[in-house]
Structure 1
């Protein structure tokens, strides 16, 4: 079974408060994008996980693909599988690549073994693996709250080209959160996103940007370059370090040079 495991970007990200459990209350719009890892999953005599492409650090046992399989194997009598992950989405980029991998493994195991788990059940399993894993179960634009696991369908129009740039900088989500000062937004994101897209740049913010930009000025420079290229909106995605820009038409990204990972694709939300 071959599965495309796509990334996401954050349109706006408000860090509202720190919770007693150590997590933060957030508000963000998650948008799935056409930039994917590739998963290959098959039944096997014994379990194995391998990866190629971008190197994954750390113990295999802690990998979200492995944990996703083990989560279902603990509750259901399923055979071992082999999982091969072709990693293309940068790690530490604010694109949710690992969370996506976990969610798509859950969905693949559900299909492969005919478990007939409904969407809500799969979302509950996904939430045990990571704050934004649940988003990738339905994989549709959503307003995220709580720690990112509470999802509400959101209706707005966005038809544009998205330029996504990864500056080869790894930003630790944990460190990024430690430097943010939570605050209640004056106007909630659900309301702001209904306004004209030409006004988004001055109203829709990512609360991680000030502290991340202070530590990594290159990321801010990259955002400004994208705005100068004609983007009607540009921001860092998640806790960084990827930066994206929305354009009314496809752009020539060669001006950015060849030192970054650059992707460009259409976004069509009705």
Structure 2
């Protein structure tokens, strides 16, 4: 039997950092949602007790450094599964991009192996397992749209965004999330985006107010380190995107677009200096 799981990318409509915690993590408040750019995982049981991971791309680790591999190992150890599994990862989401590709792969592996082995693990339990692998994994387990608090693992489902187009553009650089958070000085922030304002905009289904409420305090760090990300933002605004923001710790920038007629100009304009450009829909 083969099990298939989709692992969609996430974007942050809002990301706020409140303080540095005693455990070394940062206390955050985020509003995250998913877009229709996705990796796909194929899982099949193996008779011998091993984890085998393959992919069609050569630039990702296929051992214990991979979060999907870690998810398989965790679920095997925690639930005493002595069977092996073969996982093929069809990689479409850019890596180190602020789109939670690795976290979504881990979440998909947890969901898929739960089904493959008939473990009957509840979604809440899968989220707890996911939190051991990474801060974004619990959200990727549940999907949808949610406010995430704590270090990202405390989730409050909220209304999905109004349907629109999303243009994603990743410049040819990789950004270390740990490095960005390490340089973050929450006490020095002069303003914070409004969680309540964004939540209200989503509940009203107001595309205009959603675009106006976008905010990510990590931009203060990443844009300073990588001026090309600011250039990408400015280009996307100039080309006509309705709302523009860096996702996560970057470097991917997304633009929200209400009218399909605008897309060719934005896409072609960005492709002039950025190879990785995607036009997708919100997963509502």
TM-score by length of 2: 0.88
Asked if residue 220 in structure 1 is aligned to residue 230 in structure 2, the reply is yes
Asked if residue 34 in structure 1 is aligned to residue 36 in structure 2, the reply is yes
After TM superposition, give the deviation of residue 215 of structure 1 in Å.
Answer: 1.4
After TM superposition, give the deviation of residue 257 of structure 1 in Å.
Answer: 2.3
SS in 2 for 1:74: helix
Aligned residues: 268
Partner of 1:23: 25
- Show the 5 A alignment for 1:154-169: 154-155=158-159, 157-169=161-173
- Show the 5 A alignment for 1:1-270: 1-46=3-48, 47=50, 48-53=52-57, 55-57=59-61, 60-78=63-81, 79-155=83-159, 157-183=161-187, 188-195=194-201, 196-200=206-210, 203-250=213-260, 251-252=263-264, 253-257=267-271, 259-267=274-282, 269=284
Which sections of structure 2, spanning at least 5 residues, go unmatched? none
Q: Is the 8 A contact 1:156 1:193 kept in 2?
A: no
After TM superposition, give the deviation of residue 262 of structure 1 in Å.
Answer: 1.1
SS in 1 for 2:200: coil
Q: Is the 8 A contact 2:135 2:151 kept in 1?
A: yes
After TM superposition, give the deviation of residue 246 of structure 1 in Å.
Answer: 0.4
Q: Is the 8 A contact 2:167 2:255 kept in 1?
A: yes
Deviation string, structure 1 residues 39-98 (Cα, Å, up to 9, x no partner): 1110012321222225114x7123211111111111224210011112221111000001
Which sections of structure 1, spanning at least 5 residues, go unmatched? none
Of 252-261 and 139-148, more deviation after overlay is shown by 252-261
After TM superposition, give the deviation of residue 157 of structure 1 in Å.
Answer: 4.2
1:171 to 1:187, Cα distance in 2 relative to 1, 3 A: closer
After TM superposition, give the deviation of residue 203 of structure 1 in Å.
Answer: 4.5
- CA–CA distance in structure 2, aligned partners of residues 133 and 229 of structure 1: 33
After TM superposition, give the deviation of residue 109 of structure 1 in Å.
Answer: 0.7
Of 74-83 and 93-102, more deviation after overlay is shown by 74-83
Q: Is the 8 A contact 2:17 2:217 kept in 1?
A: yes
- CA–CA distance in structure 1, aligned partners of residues 156 and 75 of structure 2: 25
Q: Is the 8 A contact 1:158 1:268 kept in 2?
A: no
1:187 to 1:127, Cα distance in 2 relative to 1, 3 A: same
After TM superposition, give the deviation of residue 3 of structure 1 in Å.
Answer: 2.1
Q: CA RMSD in A?
A: 1.9
SS in 2 for 1:263: strand
- CA–CA distance in structure 1, aligned partners of residues 13 and 241 of structure 2: 14
1:54 to 1:38, Cα distance in 2 relative to 1, 3 A: farther
- CA–CA distance in structure 2, aligned partners of residues 157 and 138 of structure 1: 16
